[in-house]
């Protein structure tokens, strides 16, 4: 049984194999996480943290964990994944939800400050941001929500579960219809609706990210997108236009996919494989780079 709905600015789908009574609870969990993690909601925990620079802000357990995961991801990717890009995103024009963005004024931006000054206290579950630092947790938050939704479905009695939050897909347990694995299609970024690949996955996650989606134009007609290069504070411009990563969790896959686009083809491939993951990189000339190990997941 499955359920489709909108959340976190994305089309979402949950699948439960066997006992499906946990679907409604998993849906509510995702809604609850969005309410805590969205930068577009002034009442969210993330907004409270961003609005109190220099102060220790108490966070619920899952929000504290997500912030800690984002800081760790910044460290492990050498700063290519950087949750402190929010001021640069705002300067680029991503000041409203994507559906409402329209043509916007683009402002001057600066390189992102990075996470060095963020203070986390895992005893009190408080976080403190330096003045001038604000976080965007959208990408890693979707991945983490997919992971948690699948875990909740399995804990609720499902024999197998899938959570797809706008392309961040986590799976666990028994696939539907007696299949030997979950079959996950990867969309061609240059031809939406066409499969670039179909992957077989027993447990784990796939995440895809692209500069060709979630884009907009400024008042001068110049196109911008949501993947910021922390080194420049501007939308990333490398030879990689899309990345799909297979990893143990959707949060890890999401981090690596975004970091690979920022890093570019050679460094991005090294980053993904070095993290023990694999995947596909689509270059601006439409070539597809298949990373080491991807053949084990071909459907």
Among the listed residues 187, 213, 167, the one whose alpha carbon sits nearest the alpha carbon of residue 13: 167
Report the mean per-residue pLDDT for the chain.
Answer: 92
Residue 149 confidence (pLDDT) above 70: yes
Q: Which residues pair with 250 in a beta bridge?
A: none
The predicted model gives 72-100 an average pLDDT of 83
Residue-number span of the structural domain to which 37 is assigned: 2-297
Q: Which helix (H) or strand (E) holds 60?
A: none
More confident residue, 99 or 28: 28
The predicted model gives 4-12 an average pLDDT of 94
Among the listed residues 256, 274, 264, the one whose alpha carbon sits nearest the alpha carbon of residue 238: 264
Residues 6+ apart with CB under 8 A from 159: 17, 18, 19, 173, 174
Q: For residue 1, give the DSSP letter.
A: -
Residue 119 confidence (pLDDT) above 60: yes
Q: Which residues pair with 169 in a beta bridge?
A: 164, 206
Split at pLDDT 50, 70, 90, the class of 228 is confident
pLDDT at 95: 55
> How far apart, in whole angstroms, are the C-alpha atoms of residue 133 and residue 102?
26
> How far apart, in whole angstroms, are the C-alpha atoms of residue 165 and residue 169?
6
pLDDT at 105: 59
* Contact assessment for residue 50 and residue 70, using Cβ atoms and an 8 Å cutoff: no
Query: Tokens 């004024």 map to which residue?
Result: 105
Could you report the per-residue pLDDT of 264-275, keeping only the tens digit for each?
A: 999 999 999 999
pLDDT at 224: 62
Neighbours of 5 (CB within 10 A): 12
Residue 101 confidence (pLDDT) above 70: no
Could you report the per-residue pLDDT of 135-144, keeping only the tens digit for each?
A: 999 889 999 9
Give me the CATH number covering residue 142.
3.10.520.10
Could you report the per-residue pLDDT of 166-179, keeping only the tens digit for each?
A: 999 999 999 999 89
Neighbours of 167 (CB within 10 A): 23
Helix, strand, coil percent content, the chain, rounded in steps of 5:
35, 30, 35
Instruction: Tell me whether residue 165 is exposed, middle or buried, using C-beta atoms within 10 angstroms of its C-beta: 0 to 12, 13 to 18, 19 or more.
Output: buried
pLDDT at 9: 87
Domain count, the chain: 1
The predicted model gives 87-111 an average pLDDT of 67
Split at pLDDT 50, 70, 90, the class of 234 is confident
pLDDT at 219: 57
Minimum mean pLDDT among 56-60, 90-94, 146-150, 170-174: which range? 90-94
What is the total residue count of the chain? 299
User: Is-above-0.85 flag for pTM?
Assistant: yes
Q: Which residues pair with 161 in a beta bridge?
A: 16, 172
> How far apart, in whole angstroms, are the C-alpha atoms of residue 147 and residue 152?
9
258-297 as b/e: b if 16+ CB within 10 A? bbbbbbbbebbbebbbebebbbbbbeeeeeebebeebeeb
Residue 117 confidence (pLDDT) above 80: yes
pLDDT at 108: 61
pLDDT at 88: 84
More confident residue, 90 or 28: 28
Torsion of CA 59, 61, 82, 165, to 10 degrees: -120
The predicted model gives 172-192 an average pLDDT of 94
The predicted model gives 51-62 an average pLDDT of 97
Q: How far, in whole angstroms, is CA 224 from its chain's centroid?
A: 18
Q: Which residues pair with 168 in a beta bridge?
A: 165, 207
Residue 106 confidence (pLDDT) above 80: no
pLDDT at 89: 82
Among the listed residues 19, 197, 54, 206, the one whose alpha carbon sits nearest the alpha carbon of residue 127: 54
Split at pLDDT 50, 70, 90, the class of 98 is low
pLDDT at 227: 84
Could you report the per-residue pLDDT of 202-215, keeping only the tens digit for each?
A: 999 999 999 887 66
């Amino acid at each position: 049984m499955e359920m489709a709905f909108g959340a976190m600015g994305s089309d979402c789908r949950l699948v439960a194999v066997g006992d499906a009574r946990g679907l409604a609870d998993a849906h509510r969990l995702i809604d609850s996480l969005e309410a805590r993690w969205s930068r577009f909601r002034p009442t969210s925990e993330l907004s409270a943290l961003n609005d109190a620079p220099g102060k220790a802000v108490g966070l619920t357990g899952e929000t504290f964990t997500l912030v800690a995961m984002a800081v760790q991801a910044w460290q492990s990717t050498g700063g290519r994944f950087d949750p402190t890009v929010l001021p640069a995103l705002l300067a680029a024009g991503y000041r409203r939800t994507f559906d409402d963005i329209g043509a916007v004024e683009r402002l001057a931006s600066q390189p992102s400050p990075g996470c060095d000054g963020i203070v986390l206290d895992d005893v009190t579950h408080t976080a403190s941001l330096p003045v001038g630092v604000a976080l965007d947790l959208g990408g890693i938050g979707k991945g983490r929500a997919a992971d948690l939704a699948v875990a909740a479905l399995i804990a609720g009695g499902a024999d197998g579960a899938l959570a797809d939050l706008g392309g961040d897909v986590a799976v666990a347990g028994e696939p539907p219809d007696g299949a030997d694995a979950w079959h996950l299609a990867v969309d061609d970024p240059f031809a939406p609706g066409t499969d670039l690949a179909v992957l077989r996955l027993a447990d784990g996650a796939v995440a895809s990210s692209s500069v060709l989606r979630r884009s907009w134009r400024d008042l001068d007609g110049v196109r911008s997108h949501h993947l910021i290069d922390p080194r420049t504070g501007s939308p990333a411009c490398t030879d990689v236009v899309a990345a799909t990563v297979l990893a143990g969790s959707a949060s890890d896959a999401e981090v690596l996919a975004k970091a690979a686009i920022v890093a570019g083809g050679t460094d991005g491939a090294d980053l993904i494989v070095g993290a023990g993951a694999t995947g596909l990189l689509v270059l601006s000339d439409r070539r597809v780079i298949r990373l080491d190990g991807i053949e084990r997941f071909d459907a």
